[in-house]
Structure 1
Amino acid sequence: MIKRISMQDNTSSIKNYFIFALLFIIMSFFIVQSFIFGILWGAVTALSVWPIYEKISGKNIFFVGKRTNNRALSFAILFCLLFLIPLLYGIYELGELYKTSSHYIATNTEHGVLNYPSWFESLPMKEKVIDFWNTNIATSTGLIEAIDRLSSGKLVLLFSSLWSQVLDRVVTTVVMIVSFYFMLKNGDIIKKNYKNVFSYWLSARGLSHIENGISSLRGTINGVVLIGVLEGILLSVPLIAGGLNSGFLIGLAAGLLGVIPLLMPFLIIPCLIYIYMMGNTLWAAIGAVDLVIVWFVFENIIKPQMISKKVKINSVIILISMIGGMQLMGPVGLFLGPSIVSMAIGMVRDFLASANPV
């Protein structure tokens, strides 16, 4: 005989199951918390490129393949190349800087004394700078004394912390790429089922806010990346023309990370001073004007307005949420911040509308 379950019993069982499932979700979060930022980066990246991935998947392109696994793998490999090439270029530039420094030391050392660069003579406080150089850098004994000021314990702690940070970034990058691949591979399944899940648990109104958050996330990423690359190109031109070997890398980093307060001038101004001291006054002046235009116009006006068209909130709130999100969650918060704030504002508007019906 089949027993009929009352509505109250059914509601109670759903509530108990929800608590049971929530317990395991919280436990799972603590288990994978070391990798959570890598997973978030993979999810954010997959969400941002999903429309492009869908368009490419529908066309007969040789590197995409017909099977879902092949398409996702091909796209992940392409993403790795685009992600790793700038990183490898940065490592190459560091190697070139080491070679240049070694060459300078070899050609400018006389009787165990390393001569100071000639452009020191143009500095406004050249006597103090030259005296500091001669005391701490010019001779090997000066360097040894400077190192001796640090205890061996502090040096071990410094290198241990540095190695830990490097290893953590490598693990985060690997997790991000793996997460990115599986998000693309299962993207069709997620897309087909997430609406039903959110509609069931959060209602249709909650689903609309989720979709608004996804749209805001894509708009933020497109605005930050596209405008950031354009800013990087504009900033790097005078640096490269002025003779700075790492000009493109520095300009690109300043453009992509320009939303961090004062980071752009912090990276570019020392480079412009170096170019000026090397005698390239014209390119230093052009670079200064370029920095002012990029920093004030592109970074603080055009970028927030471009993002606000997708996020549909005030550009000042977007800028604040990007900076606040990054302070709270790290670099991934740069993209998640406006998305979360946009969803919160939409929910507040719903509450106000329900409290004051027309």
Structure 2
Amino acid sequence: MNAQDSQPTASQVRWPRIVGLCLLIGFGLWIARDFMAALVWGVVIAIAIDPLHMRLRERWPGVAGHVLLALMLTLGVALVVLVPLVLGIAQAAMEVREVSIWIDAAKTNGIPPPLWLARVPYGEAALTQWWAQHLATPEGAAAQLHSLTGGDLITHTRLIGSSVLHRAVIFAFTLLALFFLLRDRDTILAQVRQAGERLLGPASERIGSQAVQSVRGTIDGLILVGMGEGLVMTVIYLLLGVPHPLLLGMLTAVAATIPFGAAFMFLIAAALLLGLGSVSGAIIVMASGLAVVGIADHFVRPALIGGATRLPFLWVLIGILGGAETLGVLGLFVGPATMAVLVMLWRDYVDTGVNACSIS
């Protein structure tokens, strides 16, 4: 028997190594599965603030400056996130106590018919009769609000508190990952470029650039536009006398990060105004809110997200909504970036007839 025939071929050696490597990578991902979201969040934030990071590095060179700058930027991100969050939680806790007191009073004394009920153009008599039977008396109000008690609200608040604690731990790991990503930016970027070149060939640079532009465009289109919608609606809430306008404006800004998501907050604001007897105010809130959402979601947001990556609005919407359904809030940023890369590869394939990921 020839000695060379007994030697394993290159393919026979390669496949066991590939299988073993895949098993090792899968095991590593399984170990780190609870922290993968924090790592991806760190990457997203690092990409978003990288232009600012590089401008500050030019003014503050040196290794020690890199470490201090990474620490300062990480602390800045923490403050930007935590300060509004703490204020919102404190305000919400106060609201829960007030709502609990109102529910107890309603069960004891009933809920009197609001003033706007007499000005309803159609069905005023039927609505007044229903209110008198189901809400005006203590028995009726207690029957309608039997599932809402002060104890239940406190229990829900505790559950929310435990959820916030879990997310606080994830956020701490996100900040830790962000610090190391900023501190070791050059080394990590060089390694990513080298690995991308080996895996995807010359197209790796364009794929990375497309993903980075998409993430930044998505941040501008979601967060900045959402903050703009929340600011405009806060002014409208203040002018129309909506209860708790600052808290409601903050929640509107958060909901506005999802396309058409702020409309739910407009309904709440309109309902609060109806409870105060302001039918015209409720109509103005809904009309102005829908106008703001229409302009932001049909013109401003597609221009910011799609303009940065030449991504059609349909694929922007699919990336945002599909990413949110699959990955939660993180999917709002990962989804459009994925769609942008896929659309870019499709255009390259159609235009050139060659696989964009082929290694030359």
TM range (shorter): 0.7 to 0.9
CA deviations over 1:116-157 (Å, ceiling 9, x no partner): 475475575243245433356756xx6996479xxxxx99x9
2:179 to 178, 181, 184: 181
One-letter amino acid of the structure 1 residue matched with residue 318 of structure 2:
I
User: Where does 1:27-42 land on structure 2 (aligned, <5 Å)?
Assistant: 27-42=27-42
* C-alpha contact (below 8 Å) 1:272/1:284 kept by paired residues: yes
Distance 1:162 1:187 in 2: 36
1:287 aligns with 285
| Structure 1 residues 356 and 67: alpha-carbon distance in aligned structure 2, compared to 1, 3 A threshold | closer
2:4 aligns with none
Q: Does 1:333 align with 2:335?
A: no
CA deviations over 1:32-83 (Å, ceiling 9, x no partner): 112222222121111111111111232259xxx9522221111111111110
2:169 aligns with 171
One-letter amino acid of the structure 1 residue matched with residue 129 of structure 2:
E
* C-alpha contact (below 8 Å) 2:116/2:276 kept by paired residues: no
1:132 aligns with 134
| Structure 1 residues 121 and 230: alpha-carbon distance in aligned structure 2, compared to 1, 3 A threshold | same
* C-alpha contact (below 8 Å) 2:117/2:277 kept by paired residues: no
1:93 aligns with 91
1:273 aligns with 271
1:195 to 178, 189, 193: 193
| Structure 1 residues 129 and 90: alpha-carbon distance in aligned structure 2, compared to 1, 3 A threshold | farther
2:56 aligns with 56
1:151 aligns with none
TM-superposed deviation, 1:239: 1.1
Gaps of 5+ in 1: 1-7, 149-153
2:109 aligns with 113
| Structure 1 residues 159 and 100: alpha-carbon distance in aligned structure 2, compared to 1, 3 A threshold | closer
TM-superposed deviation, 1:101: 4.0
Distance 2:223 2:50 in 1: 16
Distance 1:244 1:298 in 2: 22
1:4 aligns with none
Distance 2:351 2:327 in 1: 31
Report the secondary structure of 2:59's partner residue: coil
Distance 1:260 1:135 in 2: 40
* C-alpha contact (below 8 Å) 1:322/1:334 kept by paired residues: yes
* C-alpha contact (below 8 Å) 2:46/2:178 kept by paired residues: yes
| Structure 1 residues 314 and 102: alpha-carbon distance in aligned structure 2, compared to 1, 3 A threshold | closer
Distance 1:194 1:137 in 2: 65
TM-score for both structures, normalised by structure 1: 0.79
Distance 2:301 2:146 in 1: 48
2:202 aligns with 204
Distance 1:265 1:144 in 2: 26
CA deviations over 1:215-244 (Å, ceiling 9, x no partner): 111111122111111111111111123333
Distance 2:305 2:146 in 1: 52
Q: How many residues align?
A: 340
* C-alpha contact (below 8 Å) 1:195/1:207 kept by paired residues: yes
TM-superposed deviation, 1:86: 1.4
Give every structure 1 segment of 4 or more consecutive aligned residues whose post-TM-superposition deviation is greater than 6 Å.
Answer: 8-15, 157-161
TM-superposed deviation, 1:84: 0.8
Gaps of 5+ in 2: 1-7, 356-360
* C-alpha contact (below 8 Å) 1:120/1:130 kept by paired residues: no
| Structure 1 residues 176 and 245: alpha-carbon distance in aligned structure 2, compared to 1, 3 A threshold | farther
1:240 to 233, 238, 241: 238
2:315 aligns with 317
* C-alpha contact (below 8 Å) 1:233/1:248 kept by paired residues: no
TM-score for both structures, normalised by structure 2: 0.79
1:47 aligns with 47
1:304 aligns with 302
Fraction of identical pairs, as percent: 20
| Structure 1 residues 224 and 239: alpha-carbon distance in aligned structure 2, compared to 1, 3 A threshold | same
TM-superposed deviation, 1:309: 1.0
Distance 1:73 1:97 in 2: 36
TM-superposed deviation, 1:9: 7.7
| Structure 1 residues 310 and 271: alpha-carbon distance in aligned structure 2, compared to 1, 3 A threshold | same
